[in-house]
Structure 1
């Protein structure tokens, strides 16, 4: 028969052990394990950036320089940018709206002609920054501009042209009568007259960025009227004007991108833009959180303009151009453009 006293003592012992277990401190949850040395950490999501172009990337001019900017950003900053070519003015707003809806972080628009559309659509997408290349304006909270003082490029082109005309008549072709284009042609004319007051410059606008044939026809008309040198600031239209100069045996000044090889012997030299550098500056500012809804304008003093020489330019001509460039850097030459004139 089981000893009752033994059972009583056994039950007391069990109750004491249970009580002690209930008073024991609870274990804390384990801390997250530290990553092993050399282990990869999750990468941040890449920014979504797109470049909107008014023309094709193979235009040997304005749009080609933007594509070079895209490649420079990829190479130097490790950031991939998308691009869309030949967006027409009627589609500017819908294109901006599309990328805003898709949640893009940064939308580049390559040309001052995009500014009004960016100003209208930008505020509707506050999480997207719209950067207009070649605009000196910005609109809060998310529309900015960065560009080149094109009139400074036009001034150097006019100085070089004046030293290479015999008839003292030259033609200057612009795309649209936008202030930045008017300013470029006015500076070209003012520089030429500063070299030789007897020079006459015929200026006209073709209302196109990409009509190469119209560029050729316009330049041919100028040449028939006595011009022996043509200059053009109108993207692809410039290729037509150079072709006209080649056909008629007169000279041309390359502009925006290196165009010396477009027509060797016809193109005296090219005044070029370091447009790729603008994109690198803007993307770096974006990555650093420093983009602001303002306009920024750069010129010779900032290293965003250059001259690509040919063998047809003498040392004396080069010296004159270098002096002109230095005067522009030092602020000794004022912008001759007067709106409304």
Structure 2
């Protein structure tokens, strides 16, 4: 159910480095993908499927691809993974957090098949790797736009599940909106879904009725933008996971694009050339896995320039979205002046920063 959770206790033990042993060269690779949603969701699964297409384009007849969409997390996932391994898949990408335990269970039975799990932390076997993206970096850019663009000083965030990845996004969005607009207030609605257009639309509608005029979402459909579009320019939002360009130039004024293609191309290529190793990858804007979609003409030029400057500073390493001084919601110190958040703190984040109202559901 919780696709992209990273638990605090596990996060502290993560080693973001290469390990394991390179494999022998392969003349042809069968690369398989397991998706939690439909490839037409317009967001998370759509972008993973774009990565599959990039693999096909990069390697032509050296690669065969296969995928299965709408695979529930749990026992169904283990069954699908087993079938894929038996069908001759050399590498299997499992693209939802809830596939973590099934991935490791099946990997133990098929040591010659490489398994790659998106957003998880368990690498219980030498043939299991993990990969993720620093989405919070994109939220910093969106927060800057939100803080500058809101007229009501009320901004919103549609959250999926109360897990570290989502909490990171909420905090980064709020911190950067607050930096440019001290009067900003944040409303969070928990949808408890990754993909349910009706629920997502209801959440957006509720926010708009409360006076929110800038909405970010951490769910996978275009429904929040469709709801914002009904307000004829009075409410703006952002594409999530994919560009959602059909809503440009407004209400979609920019987007976070999950670009999995470079990673998928690299990992399949490593099997082909014999350089494949076990990894735990966590890339962001600098690595190309997090992209900031076009900032449209609906955003004033000076705000666009400010947001792009932040994007570029994150990319070159001169700016970190979580830099002190920052306190936790209860006022206790978290980061002192000049400190930046360690990866372990981020991967296990279970608190709001100071200034955000409301509780994180348990």
Tell me the TM-score normalised to structure 2 length: 0.76
Matches within 5 A, 1:1-341: 46-78=28-60, 79-90=63-74, 91-135=76-120, 138-236=123-221, 239-249=222-232, 250-262=235-247, 264-304=249-289, 305-329=291-315, 330-335=317-322, 337=346, 339-341=349-351
Structure number with greater CO (CA < 8 Å, separation at least 6) is 2
> Residues of 1 paired with 2:112 and 2:272: CA distance?
14
Gaps of 5+ in 2: 1-25, 323-340, 352-362
- Deviations for 1:178-227, whole angstroms, at most 9, x for unmatched residues? 22222122211121112212211112321212210000001111111121
Q: What is the root-mean-square deviation of aligned Cα atoms in Å?
A: 2.1
For the pair shown, the structure with the greater C-alpha radius of gyration is 1
| Bigger fraction of residues in helix | 1
Query: Aligned partners of 2:121, 2:292: CA distance in 1, in Å?
Result: 20
What secondary structure, in the 3-state scheme, does the structure 1 residue paired with 2:189 have? strand
Q: Does the CA-based 8 Å contact 2:172-2:321 persist in structure 1?
A: no
**d(CA) in 1 for partners of 2:350, 2:292:** 29
Aligned partner of residue 325 in structure 1, secondary structure: helix
The answer to whether the Cα contact below 8 Å between 2:30 and 2:91 also exists between their aligned partners in 1 is yes
Q: In the alignment, which residue of structure 2 is the partner of 1:40?
A: none
Distance 1:263 1:228 in 2: 16
Kept in 1, the 8 Å contact 2:94–2:115? The answer is yes
Displacement after TM superposition at 1:264 (Å): 4.6
Assess if the C-alpha contact under 8 Å between 1:73 and 1:279 holds in 2. Answer: yes
**Does the 8 Å contact 2:137/2:321 carry over to 1?**
no
**SS of equivalent residue, structure 2 residue 182:** coil
| TM-score normalised by length of structure 1 | 0.80
Moved more, 106-115 or 217-226: 106-115
Q: 1:82: Cα distance to partner?
A: 0.8
Query: Residue 286 of structure 2: SS of its match in structure 1?
Result: helix
- Residue 135 of structure 1 and its aligned partner are, at CA, apart by 4.1
Q: Which residue of 2 aligns with 1:14?
A: none
Please tell me whether the aligned partners of residues 248 and 296 of structure 2 are also in contact (alpha carbons under 8 angstroms).
no
Distance in 2, matches of 1:107 and 1:162, equals 41
Aligned partners of 2:158 and 2:219 also within 8 Å: yes
